[in-house]
Amino acid sequence: MVAIAAFDDIPEHLFQVDEVHDDFVTGKALTGPLAGEYGEPDRSMIVRVVEGQLGSADTQ
């Protein structure tokens, strides 16, 4: 799980990575207005790696 940087009107949000490619990752947004949506953000949009499970004290 990673945090994706804010862009346009979308705040920083958590993203579950399924596949890693040279320039981008694929997966699903876990939080924010795009929650549940498939995405392919550029790797440069990754702010940090987030440890733990969504909903645990680590991600609160």
Q: With respect to residue 57, please indicate whether it lies within any of the assigned structural domains.
A: no
Q: Is the pLDDT of residue 54 over 90?
A: no
Mean pLDDT over 44-58 rounds to 81
Helix (H, G, I), strand (E, B) or coil at 49: strand
Q: With respect to residue 46, please indicate whether it lies within any of the assigned structural domains.
A: yes
Q: With respect to residue 38, please indicate whether it lies within any of the assigned structural domains.
A: yes
pLDDT for residue 59: 52
> What distance in Å separates the CA atoms of residue 37 and residue 27, rounded to the nearest whole number?
8
Residues of the domain holding 39: 2-51
Write out pLDDT tens, residues 19-50: 999 999 999 999 999 999 999 999 999 999 99
Q: With respect to residue 27, please indicate whether it lies within any of the assigned structural domains.
A: yes
Q: With respect to residue 35, please indicate whether it lies within any of the assigned structural domains.
A: yes
Quote the pTM value.
Answer: 0.84
Provide the number of structural domains found in the chain.
Answer: 1
> What distance in Å separates the CA atoms of residue 21 and residue 44, rounded to the nearest whole number?
12
